[in-house]
Amino acid sequence: MAIILGVDPGSRITGYGIIRAEGRDLEYLDSGCIRLGDKPLAERLQVIFHSLATLIGEYRPDEFAIEQVFMARNPDSALKLGQARGAAIVSAANSGLAVHEYSARQVKQAVVGKGGADKSQVQHMVQALLGLSRKPQADAADALAIALCHAHMNQSMVRVGTGAALQQPNHRGKLRGGRIR
């Protein structure tokens, strides 16, 4: 069993999603958005760092997954996104969590079944896969999709018999999982 924190970084809104995965069984724990407003960038990065540190302290995830940076049309936006990712990654690393990165295409493929899916398709599938009563907000849905993608990748590693996902110690120094099924 693993608790997975997925993060969809942004310099204005950072989405987060927390699930529990045990084999193919998935359970929704929490999701939401860290809204950063128009504060100076340094203050927004600080809010991302501390907000995620608080979530990590509360839920004690075993896994941390984040979306990889993509090439934006605006170089300034890409730099700010990279800095938001950096604040999130440092928050996870500071808590002893290994960081797993997935491209937007990988996430969409894992959750929707096609890498070119749009946001509404991702929201719909996240709602269906986690049995939610309503669609989560778009940024929270993206973060949950990242967590689901990571859970899927771990399950795939178990199925092919590598067991690599089960043999890495978590941030508390304990081995995750048990036997390979």
Options 8, 62, 63, 142, the catalytic residue: 8
**3-state helix vs strand vs coil in the chain, percent to 5:** 45, 20, 30
Options 22, 67, 76, 118, the catalytic residue: 67
Q: Annotated binding residue at 139?
A: yes
Q: Annotated binding residue at 30?
A: no
Options 62, 63, 139, 142, the catalytic residue: 139
Contact of 56 with 5, CB cutoff 8 Å: yes
Q: Annotated binding residue at 76?
A: no
Is 76 noted as a catalytic residue in this protein?
Answer: no
- Binding site residues for Mg(2+), as ranges? 8, 67, 139
Question: Residues with catalytic annotation?
Answer: 8, 67, 139
- Binding site residues, as ranges? 8, 67, 139
